[in-house]
């Protein structure tokens, strides 16, 4: 069974005993939504590389193993109950600038906007971020730079994101700071534990976007 199915079995047993089940987040169970955010044996999402918790199976462990399961631990992700944490800080960051005002018309009309192949591929790679928060959980500083940089890069690389480019960088980084996330010190744990392999190069791009946005044209 999968790790989350094991949690279901555990909760069924607890309920039959008249005890409270363990609260944990889950939804699609297909490695898409990022809800299954658990810290397992000292690693975000568990021992597998580039995989979410719902993609982890019990055959990974040996009979008799002790498995330590914890919630994400970060000031900006306050605990709700047991293994469930409040990650709406990410939603507020997105709300500050994760949008475009360009009207591309119908679906087929959007294809008329030319995008360089390299830029399109980098934008798609950044867009793969599922906002699970593993980068924050893995970072000793609880930094959200990888998540925010992926969302900024996704739109900064595309012509559709040009109108709000400067405002987006300033607003999203400002909200990130307000939420109480830590600072990036280039440790690289975020990239190492990211289930979608978002690259640190996005953080460099975000820093450049922020610097350009702070410069005033004379």
For the domain that residue 10 is a member of, what is the CATH number?
3.10.20
130 shares a domain with 184: yes
92 shares a domain with 7: no
Q: What is the pLDDT of residues 108-143, one digit of tens each?
A: 777 788 899 999 999 999 999 999 999 999 999 999
Q: What is the pLDDT of residues 49-87, one digit of tens each?
A: 999 999 999 999 999 999 999 999 999 999 999 999 999
Domain that holds residue 23: 3-70
pLDDT given at position 95 = 96
The whole-model pTM stands at 0.94
164 shares a domain with 58: no
179 shares a domain with 114: yes
Contact 44, 138 (CB under 8 A): yes
pLDDT given at position 216 = 67
Total number of domains in the chain: 2
106 shares a domain with 60: no
- Residues whose CB is less than 8 angstroms from the CB of residue 83 and which lie 6 or more positions away in sequence, other chains included: 22, 23, 24, 25, 38, 69, 70, 71
Mean pLDDT of 172-193: 97
> Which helix (H) or strand (E) segment is 93 a member of?
helix 88-97
Q: Is the pLDDT of residue 217 over 60?
A: no
């Amino acid at each position: 069974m999968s790790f989350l199915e094991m949690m279901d079995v555990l909760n069924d047993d607890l309920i039959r005993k008249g005890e409270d089940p363990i609260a944990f987040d889950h939804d699609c169970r297909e490695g898409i939504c990022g809800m299954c955010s658990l810290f397992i044996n000292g690693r975000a999402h568990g021992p597998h590389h580039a995989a979410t918790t719902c993609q982890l199976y019990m055959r990974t462990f040996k009979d008799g193993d002790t498995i330590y399961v914890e919630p994400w631990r970060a000031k900006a992700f306050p605990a709700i109950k047991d293994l469930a944490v409040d990650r709406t800080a990410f939603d507020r960051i997105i709300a500050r600038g994760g949008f475009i005002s360009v009207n591309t018309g119908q679906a087929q009309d959007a294809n008329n906007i030319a995008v360089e192949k390299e830029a399109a591929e980098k934008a798609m790679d950044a867009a793969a971020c599922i906002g699970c928060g593993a980068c924050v959980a893995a970072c000793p500083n609880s930094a959200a730079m990888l998540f925010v940089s992926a969302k900024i890069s996704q739109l900064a690389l595309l012509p559709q994101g040009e109108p709000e480019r400067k405002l987006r960088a300033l607003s999203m980084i400002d909200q990130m700071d307000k939420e109480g996330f830590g600072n990036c010190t280039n440790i690289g744990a975020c990239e190492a534990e990211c289930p979608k392999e978002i690259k640190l190069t996005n953080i460099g791009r975000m820093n450049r976007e922020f610097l350009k946005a702070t410069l005033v044209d004379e």
